[in-house]
Amino acid sequence: MEALKTRILNEGQNLGRGILKIDSFLNHQLDAELMEAVGSEIARQFSHTNPTRIVTAEVSGIVPAIMAGKALGNIPVVYARKHKPITMMEPVYIDAAPSHTKGGEVMLMISPEFLHASDRVLIVDDFLASGRTIDALARIVQNSGAVLVGIAAVVEKTFEGGRTALAHWNVPVFAAATITDMSDGKIVLA
């Protein structure tokens, strides 16, 4: 994904402590054409796994997940809520994950109404860093009885070890762009 890599290098800001600001095209303002290309690449990487549903976390994973869902034949996309709305009836699938950018821990919730044991689930998120958020989503998928078929991220930061932390799921992991180093204010892509 050369276009994504170019945007990261030209517009990304290394804020220190492993935090990459890419708000101009993903985490605040969105570039629909770029996200559509990312979604298409995710679909290309995972079409052979025959996913029936995509799961992501609120908020920044939603757009790449929708684009991947569209490219996979318009499969449903479910996002884990961080705050339980009054419309979400008990019981719910729930797990905790630390928030790198917000600090502290967030609860991720999905209604059983939208995640079934018969599903084949692809997880799509904006970042793969420590892997803890994606691991929490995978546990929710597991608790639902569904089958996890793969994990995709727009950006992976390999120096945070997330891919290794997720290896126990034994599914393919894909990142559209991979950052290998952010020390000394740099952004180094693989």
Assign 13 to helix, strand or coil.
Answer: strand
- State residue 144's pLDDT score: 98
DSSP letter, residue 120: E
Contact 46, 120 (CB under 8 A): no
What is the rounded distance in angstroms from the CA atom of residue 90 to the CA atom of residue 30? Answer: 33
Instruction: State the pTM of this model.
Output: 0.96
> Quick one: tokens of 21?
């600001």
Parse the chain into domains and list their residue ranges: 2-189
Length of the chain measured in residues: 190
Mean pLDDT of the chain: 95
Identity at 66, one-letter amino acid code:
I
Q: Which CATH architecture has domain 2-189?
A: 3-Layer(aba) Sandwich (3.40)
Which helix or strand (DSSP H or E) is residue 75 part of?
Answer: none
Q: How confident is the model at residue 85 (pLDDT cuts 50, 70, 90)?
A: confident
Q: How confident is the model at residue 100 (pLDDT cuts 50, 70, 90)?
A: low
Which helix or strand (DSSP H or E) is residue 35 part of?
Answer: helix 32-46
Identity at 25, one-letter amino acid code:
F
What is the rounded distance in angstroms from the CA atom of residue 100 to the CA atom of residue 174? Answer: 21
Contact 134, 166 (CB under 8 A): yes
